[in-house]
Amino acid sequence: MASTTSCSSLLVAIMACMCFTAHAFFNLKIGMDICQKADYPVLCRSVARGREDPSVVLEATIRLLMVQTYKAMGQARRDKTSAMEVCLEVYDDAFSSLQTSISNMKSHDKGSLGINLSAALTDYVTCDDAVEESGLSSPVTRRNVRMRKMTSNCLYLSSLIRWH
């Protein structure tokens, strides 16, 4: 009787192990790194912090990007050049696009989400172009690089979302 119980226990343990292995093999959220294929995986992981739901990580990244955009606006306001005037205008547009992106997520409008994230990315590039054309150094250049990378990761994360 004892050998039958231990044999049954062993069989259950083996089956559980096989199920766990198959589950991991097919990437069903066990140890899944959603940032692995992002354009900037290290930056993506710094926001994801182990979270596996792309919509949660995307919203966190967008909200962080909004904070960065707001800080860039403050930097641009302190510099009274024509390039910074352009940057201020496009940062305002980017911030608005990011706010709309959050709304797009809530309404599960993936098409508009991509459009608004792309618009924000274009706004950061426009600021960089204005700074480059002015021939001046800018306090926002490094921040713009980070914001472009974050927005690129947002576009990647939005591609992972499956809304029904």
pLDDT at 26: 40
Q: Are residues 145 and 99 in the same domain?
A: yes
pLDDT band with cut points at 50, 70 and 90 for residue 102:
very high
Q: Are residues 60 and 78 in the same domain?
A: yes
pLDDT at 138: 85
Mean pLDDT of the 59-88 span: 95
**pLDDT at 21 > cutoff 60:** no
Using only the alpha carbons of the chain, give its radius of gyration.
23
The parent domain of residue 79 ranges over 32-160
pLDDT band with cut points at 50, 70 and 90 for residue 3:
low
Q: Are residues 78 and 8 in the same domain?
A: no
Q: Are residues 68 and 126 in the same domain?
A: yes
CA distance linking residue 127 with residue 163, whole number of Å: 33
Mean pLDDT of the 101-128 span: 97
pLDDT band with cut points at 50, 70 and 90 for residue 83:
very high
Q: Are residues 15 and 95 in the same domain?
A: no
The SS3 assignment for 77 reads: helix
Q: Are residues 67 and 20 in the same domain?
A: no
Q: Are residues 125 and 150 in the same domain?
A: yes
**pLDDT at 98 > cutoff 90:** yes
Q: Are residues 43 and 120 in the same domain?
A: yes
Number of domains in the chain: 2
CA distance linking residue 128 with residue 141, whole number of Å: 7
Query: What integer best gives the mean pLDDT of the chain?
Result: 86
- Taking the model in full, what pTM does it have? 0.79
Q: Are residues 1 and 67 in the same domain?
A: no
Q: Are residues 20 and 77 in the same domain?
A: no
Nearest to 117 by CA among 131, 103, 134, 128: 103
Q: Are residues 70 and 26 in the same domain?
A: no
**pLDDT at 139 > cutoff 90:** no
CA distance linking residue 77 with residue 84, whole number of Å: 7
Mean pLDDT of the 39-50 span: 96
% residues pLDDT > 70 (the chain): 80
pLDDT at 32: 80
Q: Are residues 68 and 5 in the same domain?
A: no
pLDDT band with cut points at 50, 70 and 90 for residue 163:
confident
pLDDT in tens, 122-134: 999 999 999 999 9
